[in-house]
Chains A and B, each alone.
Chain A
C-alpha cells in the first residue's frame, strides 16, 4: 500500500532550498546512485547478443554468427554488429548480463508493466519512480521520462514527462518551438508570475491546514511542491535543451533523448531517466516475421550504448568525478522471443528474456544465467550467480530488487519477497 513517502517528503522539503546540489546519501559518502533505463520496446531476441544458444537443439539461432568472449562476457558475435563487439571489448568489464529471467506474461502491455514494476496489476510504482522517490535530494525532475513507459501509483509526482515530441519546454514560452505547441496569447511577465505563485503557495498551505485528513492534504502538499518547481524548471531550461525525438548525430534516433538524460543526471536534476530505442527506423523490436531485423536493432542499440558510455565517461557527475561512477545503465526489453522460428520466419512472444546492467555498482565482466535445451531459463543462486537446480527461478522482481539494492533501498521494504541478485552487485 501507499507508504506516503512522496507526500511526507513534499511536506517536509517544499520550503527547502531548491538548489540542484546533490547531497551524498551513501555510507561511503559517495553521491546517491542514479539510473538510466534504456528500453527496447517490442521484445528482443536475446539469442542475437546476450544469450549464445547455438548448442541448444530446440532453439533456432542466427546463421553466420558465432560465440565470442570479451572481458569475460560471452556474446553472439556477427560481422553485421561491430558495435556489439566494440561495446563488450570496451565496457564489458563494467557490464553484467542477466540471462534466462522470466517475465510472466506474453502480452506487451502486461510484460512492460511486469518488467518495470515486478507486478502485473496496478497499484504499484515502477523501479524508476520508486528509486527517484527515495532520493535524499529535492530533485526537480526526479524521474525524467524522455520516451518509453512508466507506471506510478504512490509516486506520480516523481515522474516528469517531456512529451512525445519534447513539448515540455514549449510550456515555458509563448511561442513553442513546434508551431502546433504554441500558446498564442501573451504570458504574464516573470515578476507577475512570481507574485501569483507566491499567492498560490500561501493558499495551498491554508487549504492543506483546513482540509480533513485524506487526499486533500496530500493534494495541497504536492500542489505546493509542483508550483515551487516551475521557476526552477524555467531556470534549468536555459541549461538543458529538452527537445527530444529528433535524429541526433550519426543517425542515432534516440541520441538527443539520451543527451538530455545525461545532462539531467549530471546536473543533479534527476535521479532516474528513461529512454526508449524502438529499433532500426523505429520499426519496433516485435519481430514476428523476419527475425533478422533483430541484428539491425541490436547494432543500433549498441551504437547508442557506445555513445552513451562515452558521454557518461566524459561528463562530470555531481561529485565532480565522471558520471559513469554515479550512474547505472539498465538495458532491458519487456519480453523475449520464442526459441523456434514461426512460419513467417519470425519468433513469437516468450516469457524468458535477458537484461544488462552497466556502470556504477555493477559487478562487471559477468554473464549470469543459462537456458535449457528449449531456451527456458534455469535456476540461479542469487548470491553466487551459479546455475543450480536448487537455486531461484529468476523473475522481473529479482531484477527490480537488484536495482533497489543498488539504490541503497531495502528491497524487502518496497517489494514483498523481493530478493536482489547479489551476484550482479560489486
Chain B
C-alpha cells in the first residue's frame, strides 16, 4: 500500500499539448474589451471606450492596462479568489449576536469575516507588492465592523477596507494569521487543525491531500488499536499524507480554541498555545520536513516553496479561464509562472499575461479543434451573481439588498447559489451553463434594475440620467431619438452595433408593451429584455 501511495505522488509526464491557440477562435475586440472590463472592473465598458476600440484596435491593450490599475480590480479579485478560497460562507461557529451587533448587520458581519483574507490578498495584488507578502505581511485589511469586534489597529479617520494591524501579538504571517480564514476552516478536538493544514496545502501550494484515495481494505491489523489517531503517526500508509499534515497542523496551535463557539477564544491569537501542537499531534511544527519556528517562519517557508508561485499562477488562471487547470495546461502554466517569478511575483503582470492568453481571449473553437478542447475551453462565460450585481448597480443605481442582505451574495435568504454562484460549502466551483434558477434570478434582477432606471430617468426625470439618455415618455418609435436610444443601449449593454433586425425586434417589443401599459412600462420592458439578452448575460 505504501508503494501505491508513493506512486500516486509521482509526477506524471504531461501529454503532448495540443496547440491551443490554433484550436481557438478569438473574440472580436469589442466583446473582448467587454470581457476584460467585467473581469477586471466588474462593470461594462463605457460607450466611449467601445468607440475607442472600434476606431483603433490598439486601444484595447491601452484600456486593459488602465483596467489593471482601476481601484475596482480589488473587488474583482476578492470575488474571483472567493470562488476558490471558499471563505465567504453564510455562517461561522459564532455569529453577529455574539458581538452585540444588530440583525441588520448579519450579512455585513458574515461578508466582512469571509472577505478579510481575500481583501489582504487583493491589497497585495493591486498594490503591486510581491505575492509572497500574502504569507509574510505584518498587517491585514479590515473594515469598521472588524475593527469593532477584533483586536485591530485601524487607521484613525479611515473608512471601508483599510490596512490594519493586529494588536494581540500574533506573528506577521499574512493570511496564515487571518481570523477570517480560520473561522471558515475551523477545527475541533478530533480534527486537531488537520482541516486547516489541508486548506493551506490546497490554497497556497495546490497540494490537495484529501484528493488522494484512501483505502483501509488491507489495513485490518491496524484497527485492533483503541484510538484511530494513533495510527496516523505509525502506519506507513497513513504517513504518506500525515507525515506532512501533522507537522503543519502542529504549527497552527496559536489558533487553538479550548472552547468552541466562544467569541473570546476565537477572536484572539493565543501565543501561549503555540507549543501544544507538538504534544497533541506527536509532531513538531514543520513544512514538508523542514522544521519551522512559529507562523512567521512558516510563512517564509511557504513563500520559498517552488509550488507557491505555481499555485498562484494556477489560481489566477482558473479564475480568468473560468475552468480548472488540467495536465494539458502544464506547459502554459510553467511559462506564465516563470515570468511571474522573474518579475518579482507581481499580480498585475500575471493578470496582464493571462488576459493575453489564447484561452482567455477565445470566443469559439475552430472546426479543427478536438472535442476535448471544445468541451474544456469556456469560450462563452456566464455572468456570476457578483458581476450581475455590480453591473446593474453601476448602470442603474439599483442593488438587490433587503434588510442588509445582499441578495446576490447570500444563500440563507438570497439567491447566490440559485444564480450559479459559489457558496463555498455546497457549491465550490462556479457553473457556466444557464439554469432555470439562474434565468429567474437574472430576470428579477433585470426587471428591478430596469424599473429603477426608468423611474429615475423618465418618470421622475431626475438629472443626471443614468441609462436612458435621449428619450422621454412622449418619444415615439418614429422619432429619430427613439432609434438612437435603442442603438445606444444595444451598444453599451451588448458591445455590438445593433443591426436593423436588432432594432426592429426591440421596436416591436416596445410597441407591444406600450399598447398594454404605456411608455414607462414599455421602456422598462425593453430595458429588462436587454439586461437579460443572451449577449448581455454571457461574456
Contacts and interface: CB of A to CB of B under 8 A. Distances in A.
Contact of B210 (A109, A372, A393): A109
A179 interface: yes
Interface in B488-519: 501, 505-506, 509, 512-513, 516-517
Contacts of A344: 189-190
B214 A340 contact: no
Contacts of B524: 188
Contact of A216 (B364, B375, B415, B433): B364
Interface in A183-228: 183-189, 191-193, 195-196, 199-200, 202-204, 206-208, 211-216, 218-220, 222-223, 225-227
A66 interface: no
A171 B371 contact: no
Given A149-B426, A215-B379, A348-B229, A222 B433 contact: yes
A393 B374 CA distance: 36
B437 interface: yes
A163 B220 contact: no
Contacts of B435: 156-157, 159-160, 222, 226
A9 interface: no
Contacts of B444: 171, 183, 187
A357 B537 CA distance: 41
Contacts of A203: 505, 533-535
B227 interface: yes
A2 to B, nearest CB: 4
B215 interface: yes
Contacts of B365: 212-214
B241 to A, nearest CB: 10
A169 B354 CA distance: 40
B509 A199 contact: yes
B443 interface: yes
Given A167-B414, A288-B188, A215 B521 contact: no
Interface residues of A, number: 96
B405 interface: yes
A156 B432 contact: yes
Given A104-B213, A188-B525, A223-B439, A181 B407 contact: yes
A188 B528 contact: yes
Nearest to A234: B440
B452 interface: yes
A121 interface: yes
A299 B535 CA distance: 52
A343 B407 contact: no
A176 to B, nearest CB: 8
A373 B528 contact: no
A350 interface: yes
Contact of A227 (B227, B366, B415, B439): B439
Contact of B211 (A120, A193, A219, A220): A120
Interface string B398-413: 1010110101000111
A413 B392 CA distance: 43
A359 B273 CA distance: 54
Nearest to A104: B213
A214 B377 contact: yes
A207 B362 CA distance: 17
A216 B380 contact: yes
B215 A171 contact: no
A375 B418 CA distance: 41
A164 B412 CA distance: 6
B217 interface: yes
B377 A339 contact: no
A102 B215 contact: yes
B247 to A, nearest CB: 19
B20 interface: no
B223 A374 contact: yes
Given A180-B403, A202-B505, A226-B436, A211 B513 contact: no
A181 B402 contact: yes
Given A214-B380, A219-B434, 16 more contacts: A104-B214, A106-B214, A180-B402, A181-B414, A182-B402, A183-B444, A185-B448, A185-B452, A212-B365, A214-B369, A220-B534, A288-B190, A340-B225, A343-B227, A374-B221, A374-B224
9 contacts: A102-B216, A159-B435, A161-B437, A180-B405, A192-B516, A196-B525, A215-B381, A219-B434, A393-B217
Interface of B: 25, 90, 188-190, 195, 198, 210-211, 213-217, 219-221, 223-229, 324, 362-367, 369, 371-372, 374-375, 377-382, 398, 400, 402-403, 405, 407, 411-415, 417-418, 420, 426, 428-429, 431-441, 443-444, 447-448, 451-452, 501, 505-506, 509, 512-513, 516-517, 521, 524-525, 528-529, 532-535, 537-538
Lowest 9 CB-CB distances: which A-B pairs, in order?
Answer: A212-B364, A180-B413, A226-B439, A216-B380, A2-B375, A288-B190, A214-B379, A215-B380, A156-B433
